[in-house]
Amino acid sequence: MIRITREADYGIVLMACLAQAEGQPRSAAALARQRRLPLPMVSKILKSLARAGLLSSQRGAQGGYSLAWPAAKISAADIIGALEGPIAITECSDETHDGCSRQDHCEISGHWSRINQAIYTALQSISLEEMSRPDQPRPVRFHSPHRVTTVNAAGHPV
């Protein structure tokens, strides 16, 4: 099963909450209460997102965290990447990976980068602005590439 971490999931939830705040700073404690999440995890996530340049932080009584960029300019891939590192479903599909000891004997390693790119492109195409609005669930459709099938004289695939 391919799954993002709880930290990335909560990061998207917190970022959506900040997008809905329309530029008003929110404290870690207020966000934790509002989303019913543990304060230590919320603080850790917000600091990571601020270090990645996705959030701005202000100290003081009126301080807190706010989006560093408009919600339309921040993607799900940006948030996940900030919290989990480069999006890669296998070690060999990670662009920062130096190579795999089995790469010389692996016929499919080149395909993983194509699959990884499709996942990255899908996550990059979903903005925080979209994620922060209620949406009707839609079925996800995957389109398989056209395949050429060879058939024998009887018309059966070979």
Domain boundaries, the chain: 6-131
For residue 47, CA distances in Å to 8, 24, 53, 54, 98 come to 13, 17, 10, 10, 29
Q: Which fold has domain 6-131?
A: Arc Repressor Mutant, subunit A (1.10.10)
Q: What global pTM score does this model have?
A: 0.77
pLDDT band at 108 (very low <50, low <70, confident <90, very high): confident
Rounded average pLDDT over 28-50: 97
The percentage of the chain sitting over the pLDDT mark of 90, rounded to a whole number, equals 55
Rounded average pLDDT over 72-83: 96
Which of 48-52, 63-67, 130-134 tops mean pLDDT?
48-52
Contacts of 96 by beta carbon, 8 Å cutoff, 6+ apart: 86
142 burial (CB, 10 Å; 0-12 / 13-18 / 19+) is exposed
